Amino acid sequence: MNVPISELPRVVIIGGGFGGVSLARKLEKKPFQVVMLDKRNYHTFQPLLYQVSTSGLEPDSIAYPIRKILKRNNNAYFRMAEVKNIYDKKRVVETNIGEITYDYLVIATGSKTNFFGNKSVEENAIWMKTVPQALNLRSLILENFEEATIAKDPERRKSLLNFVIAGAGPTGVELSGALAELRRNVIPKDYQDIDPEEIHIHLIEGLDKVLPPMSDESSANAQKYLEELGVEIHLNTFVDSYEDNIVKTNNEDLSFNTETFIWSAGVTGAAIDGLKNEALIDKANRYNVNTFNQIEGYENIFAIGDIALMTSEEFPKGHPMVAQPAIQQGKHLAKNLLRTINKQKLLPFEYLDKGTMATVGRNKAVVDLDNVKFGGAFAWFVWMFVHLWFLVGFRNRIVTFFNWTYSYINYDRAARLIVRPFKANKEKSPD
Ligand SMILES: Cc1cc2nc3c(=O)[nH]c(=O)nc-3n(C[C@H](O)[C@H](O)[C@H](O)COP(=O)(O)OP(=O)(O)OC[C@H]3O[C@@H](n4cnc5c(N)ncnc54)[C@H](O)[C@@H]3O)c2cc1C
């Protein structure tokens, strides 16, 4: 891999997501050689992927080159590589571009889409975990609008203008809210031959509320906002299959004819082959880590972020699979790696829950803090501020801020482009 041999201990980090990047930054100017491996050459700010797929932001605003993140560290190397296997006894990581040895290995590979074994959904639905996938979805939505303007068969037109989203977690809620705003603000201007009333946005959720991880108050507010925007919500409903453009549910009377079925109903760990059996919690496909983020059975292999399952009294099922645990664990592990080489005792990780939030649309968001829950316009401004703050890169923050301000004033979406058509071959991009 052309990484020089160094006298410094080598930390190999697999994954340049929230966890990997926060760890790498904290290891700057510390006595380690850092090697970051990622199958993409950029960091993705996943919370804003839905804005790319609904034409609100250009992909460059939410992605950032990993090499640029590492550039201040003379002892850091990036290799664009997909990790295939770990050979723990040899301390070697195998990738599609060769092998590399490690002294300390950190797995920060995040998660991938979970279809819960439903093959028809996996084969026919579309989902959104990466930038290419968000661009595919953007193309599909716009191509369907284009096709609807010329469709002669009323049933086909209906199917093109029906949008169905499974999973009312933050991604499903944010996507359906953004689609509803597209229908309200953009369609009447761009597609005079489509009546916005013809467009239906259905949100399906298996549980009895939207945003299940949030407080009842915020769930109820989010549901109210979505309904105000005209999103049709179907709670206590499970998807059975999606074939021939028909979504069938567990309710015989409820099925949808649609060419856009978006799956946002779950994720599972993106684990790598090669570690001992006890390292992995099979059901979740996440690594079983102790409070120092060490993977069960190993002292020098760690996992952080979505891929790590660390249980505690407060979090018996592990931390939520969101950005904050990944960021905090990355920072904390940097301290513990330093303590390791200084022969000091490791410090246990404690998660500081900074709250949860989700946006539904213009002036509509919900925020859950420890003791305070609020929604509406103020929550929306808080949501925007927090997302701008955490976006990687000054340019990205400025461009995103400018885009949001422009869209707010003009009720517009900047990026309504079918750059790479998706429908013709439906070539899906892997997670
Ligand atoms: C659509 C969407 C919306 C979200 N919205 C929010 C939100 O609003 N708020 C929030 O807090 N969280 C949100 N999340 C969750 C949040 O993005 C994750 O919890 C967070 O990204 C986890 O960070 P991580 O470092 O563990 O993994 P990631 O950020 O997913 O990074 C994993 C990295 O590992 C790389 N990788 C994976 N496997 C390999 C391999 N075998 N070889 C090489 N590289 C590999 C990937 O390319 C990726 O760069 C959202 C997630 C999605 C998908």
Q: Is 7 exposed, middle or buried (0-12, 13-18, 19+ CB in 10 A)?
A: exposed
Nearest Cα to Cα of residue 289 among 332, 323, 338: 332
φ, ψ for residue 74, nearest 5 deg: -65, -20
Residues 261 and 129 in one domain: yes
CA of residue 322 to ligand 1 center, whole Å: 8
Q: Which of 214, 235, 265 is the endpoint of a domain?
A: 265
> Which has more pLDDT, 411 or 34?
34
Closest Cα to atom 50, ligand 1: which residue?
Answer: 47
Residues 220 and 249 in one domain: yes
Kindly state the DSSP code that residue 307 receives in the 8-state scheme: G
Residues 164 and 277 in one domain: no
Residues 125 and 33 in one domain: no
Residues 260 and 272 in one domain: no
CB burial of 143-156 (b: ≥16 within 10 Å; e: otherwise) equals: bbbebbeebeeeee
Question: pTM for this one?
Answer: 0.96
Distance CA 129, CA 356 (A): 20
- The string of pLDDT tens digits covering residues 91-141 is 999 999 999 999 999 999 999 999 999 999 999 999 999 999 999 999 999
Q: Does the pLDDT value for residue 330 go beyond 80?
A: yes
H/E segment holding residue 82: none
Question: Do the domain assignments include residue 76?
Answer: no
Residues 296 and 238 in one domain: no
Q: Which of 265, 287, 305 is the endpoint of a domain?
A: 265
50-77 average pLDDT score? 95
Residues 294 and 235 in one domain: no
Residues 212 and 228 in one domain: yes
pLDDT for 430: 85
Residue 123 CB contacts under 8 Å (≥ 6 apart), including other chains = none
Q: What proportion of the chain, given as a percentage, has pLDDT over 90? A: 92
Cβ pair 6, 104 in contact under 8 A? no
Question: Do the domain assignments include residue 412?
Answer: no
pLDDT for 371: 87
Q: Does the pLDDT value for residue 52 go beyond 80?
A: yes
Distance CA 187, CA 203 (A): 20
Q: Is the dihedral of CA 209, 320, 176, 410 positive or negative?
A: positive
44-60 average pLDDT score? 95
CA of residue 50 to ligand 1 center, whole Å: 14
Give how many domains the chain has, as a whole number: 2
Question: Do the domain assignments include residue 232?
Answer: yes
Contacts 24+ apart (CB under 8 A), 87-92: 87/274, 88/274, 88/275, 88/276, 88/298, 88/301, 91/300
CA of residue 307 to ligand 1 center, whole Å: 9
Q: Does the pLDDT value for residue 61 go beyond 80?
A: yes
Distance CA 17, CA 61 (A): 16
CATH classification at residue 183: 3.50.50.100
Question: Do the domain assignments include residue 420?
Answer: no
CA–CA distances in Å: residue 150 to residues 45, 156, 210, 229, 346? 36, 10, 35, 26, 65
- Residues with a catalytic annotation lie at 174
Nearest Cα to Cα of residue 331 among 18, 15, 12: 18
- The string of pLDDT tens digits covering residues 400-419 is 998 888 888 877 877 889 99
CATH classification at residue 16: 3.50.50.60
Closest Cα to atom 38, ligand 1: which residue?
Answer: 109
Query: Which residues form ligand 1's pocket by a CB distance below 6 Å?
Result: 14-20, 37-40, 46-47, 49, 82-83, 108-110, 128-129, 170-171, 270, 272, 305-307, 321-324, 326
Question: Do the domain assignments include residue 105?
Answer: yes
Which of 21, 42, 50, 322 for a ligand 1 pocket mutation test, highest count of atoms within 8 Å of Cβ? 322
Question: Do the domain assignments include residue 382?
Answer: no
Q: Which atom of ligand 1 is nearest to the CA of 81?
A: 43
Q: Does the pLDDT value for residue 427 go beyond 90?
A: no
pLDDT for 14: 98
Closest Cα to atom 6, ligand 1: which residue?
Answer: 47
- The string of pLDDT tens digits covering residues 139-175 is 999 999 999 999 999 999 999 999 999 999 999 999 9
Residues 124 and 136 in one domain: yes
247-273 average pLDDT score? 97
Q: Does the pLDDT value for residue 20 go beyond 80?
A: yes
Q: Is 8 exposed, middle or buried (0-12, 13-18, 19+ CB in 10 A)?
A: middle
Residues 217 and 280 in one domain: no
Distance CA 167, CA 121 (A): 13
Residues 146 and 279 in one domain: no
Distance CA 222, CA 375 (A): 8
pLDDT for 410: 79
Strand 10-14 and strand 33-38: the pairing is parallel
CA of residue 17 to ligand 1 center, whole Å: 6
Q: Does the pLDDT value for residue 253 go beyond 80?
A: yes
Distance CA 24, CA 151 (A): 52
Q: How confident is the model at residue 392 (pLDDT cuts 50, 70, 90)?
A: confident
Residues 164 and 255 in one domain: yes
Number of H helices, E strands in the chain: 12, 25
Q: Does the pLDDT value for residue 425 go beyond 90?
A: no
Q: Supply the range of the domain harboring residue 85.
A: 5-39+81-113+268-341
Question: Do the domain assignments include residue 74?
Answer: no
Distance CA 305, CA 19 (A): 5
Nearest Cα to Cα of residue 20 among 42, 51, 53: 42
Closest Cα to atom 27, ligand 1: which residue?
Answer: 110
Q: Which atom of ligand 1 is nearest to the CA of 37?
A: 43
CA of residue 211 to ligand 1 center, whole Å: 19
Q: Which of 215, 241, 265 is the endpoint of a domain?
A: 265
Q: Does the pLDDT value for residue 370 go beyond 90?
A: no
Residue 327 CB contacts under 8 Å (≥ 6 apart), including other chains = 18, 19, 22
Question: Do the domain assignments include residue 316?
Answer: yes
The angle at the Cα of 13, spanning 301 to 103, to the nearest 5 degrees, equals 50
pLDDT for 413: 79
